[in-house]
Amino acid sequence: MSLLKRGPATSDGRPLTAVERDSAREAAAQALRQELTPKAIIDKTPAAMARAGEFLPQFMRRWLEEVRHQDPTLHLSQQDIDGLATQVYQQIFGLGFLEAYLPPQRTDLSEISILPDGRVTVQRKGAQRFEVTDQKISRAQMDDILQRLLGAMSRSISQAWPIEGTRIPPTANLPTGARVHAVAPPVVVGHMATLNVRLFESKFVTPQTLLDWGSVTPEMDAFLAERISEGCGVLVSGATGSGKTTFLNYLSYYIHQYDRVITVEDSQELRLSCPAGDRSTHGFWITLETRPPNLEGQGEITFLKLINTSLRMTPQWVIVGEIREGAVAAALLQTQISGHSGMTTIHADSTHKAIKTLLMRCQQSEMFSTIESAKQAIVLGLDLVIQLEQNKDGDRYVQEIAMVDPNLIGGKVYVRSLWKLDRKQSQPGAPVWQTPTDLGRTYVRHLEDDQEEVGI
């Protein structure tokens, strides 16, 4: 089907109002559903899609003629008619107005955000800030897309349940799917919900990918490959957008192809790889997703429940998408102490703060009776802390790789910096890292001399 994007109305008359546009789209959608069988629409058969491409512009022209009998001043150009037809086509067979911002129409975006006033904003790959587009959607369009996105995953949003997240399943044009997060009134101030759609890299992230980006050096890559092959415990830290999920995907490349991997996430974002390609095809990878309670407060499946469930699935690796709660932090550390390898992410802006945040999460749980026992769990279950950052140009780098000492020293947690970004020597697109020798330390000096204090 080839339908033109909507253009502006000519000066020969007034354009459609927002209410009239909603009415036109709804009338066309209802007419098309009567024209085609429900099975043809669900299956998206070539014949149904071809018929829709013919039917919708014709319907829009007939609809316009009927409306003009009541208001002769109304005028739409052929581009405007085709634009409305395209929107209905996308509403029936795709993701409505979002289709214009998804591949193959757009391949340069990392996130799409709709504000509560209907403005559509986008974030380009590598950018830190959003740009406002010239499109503004109606509440009816927002309600329709939320029903499509959430309903497909058996979820919903309302005043009683105004915050919800899910994912867009992979498709031919969107092979990695996308993450969806919506917040509705009254939690968000405005006349409609706000929506964020985070897009992921369309290709598997491999070591060569990060080397090409300049995010790691060959020496870092070789070190991490050895540590992961040994099954060490890894904490990846960084701010939103710093590339934590991407880095977990990269690290997964070095997990043995036939190791049994269980991932636990709110909604699946991880796309693990191995030298043979997709780990879900060539390895032993099982993905578990949490589930919120229903409106009656029943049926919730938490991170903690899934971590405990994963231990009964005989994993070599347990990977948790993100630590947000104390019970989850404690459970994952206990998992790693008990002989399972593990990786996870946390929000923090330095390796020291990452450890302190992890300690704070552990203290929030009821699993550790004292702070000393929580510290002991950290040094026993955690081997590496990897700090990521995104600079002002949008480039993402490893800020620091630090090794956690396996023993408490004076009752405190210590880490040793192995690589640390040198901000003074680094240039845009050309990061420089300091090594222990550059920092005036060696690997064999006494712990108190060549390590930095983290604990309380």
Per-residue pLDDT reduced to its tens digit, 359-392: 999 988 888 888 999 999 999 999 999 999 988 7
Distance CA 111, CA 97 (A): 14
Per the prediction, the chain carries an average pLDDT of: 85
Token pair, residue 222, equals 């070789």
Of 123-127, 435-439, 440-444, the range with the lowest mean pLDDT is 440-444
CA 298, 304, 305: angle at the middle one, nearest 5? 55
Give the three-class secondary structure for 164.
strand
Q: In 10 A of CB 268, how many CB atoms?
A: 17
Same domain, 309 and 391: yes
Span 39-87, pLDDT tens digits: 877 777 888 888 888 888 888 888 888 888 888 887 777 887 888 888 7
Domain boundary among 39, 74, 93: 93
Domain boundary among 173, 199, 225: 199
Same domain, 194 and 156: yes
Q: Is residue 6 part of a domain?
A: no
Give the three-class secondary structure for 222.
helix
pLDDT at residue 12, rounded to an integer: 58
Same domain, 107 and 81: no
Q: Is residue 5 part of a domain?
A: no
Q: In 10 A of CB 288, how many CB atoms?
A: 20
Span 327-336, pLDDT tens digits: 899 999 999 9
Same domain, 191 and 322: no
Same domain, 366 and 263: yes
Same domain, 229 and 353: yes
Same domain, 438 and 328: yes
pLDDT at residue 438, rounded to an integer: 53
| Contact yes or no for 387/238 (Cβ under 8 A) | yes
Span 163-207, pLDDT tens digits: 998 888 877 778 778 899 999 999 999 889 999 999 987 778 899
Q: Is residue 12 part of a domain?
A: no
User: What's at 285, amino acid-wise?
Assistant: W
pLDDT at residue 147, rounded to an integer: 87
**CATH of residue 172:** 3.30.450.90
Domain boundary among 174, 199, 224: 199
Count structural domains, the chain: 3
Q: Is residue 185 part of a domain?
A: yes
3-state helix, strand, coil in the chain (%, to 5): 35, 25, 40
Same domain, 79 and 113: no
Domain with 52 in it: 18-93
Same domain, 339 and 269: yes
Token pair, residue 55, equals 């039917």
Give the pLDDT band (50/70/90) at residue 451: very low
Same domain, 46 and 106: no
Distance CA 344, CA 321 (A): 6
Same domain, 42 and 133: no
Beta-sheet pairing, 414-421 with 452-453: antiparallel
Same domain, 62 and 170: no
pLDDT at residue 2, rounded to an integer: 35
Q: Is residue 278 part of a domain?
A: yes
Distance CA 161, CA 194 (A): 14
Q: Is residue 247 part of a domain?
A: yes
Q: Is residue 216 part of a domain?
A: yes
Span 191-247, pLDDT tens digits: 899 999 999 877 788 999 999 999 999 999 999 999 999 999 999 999 988 999 999
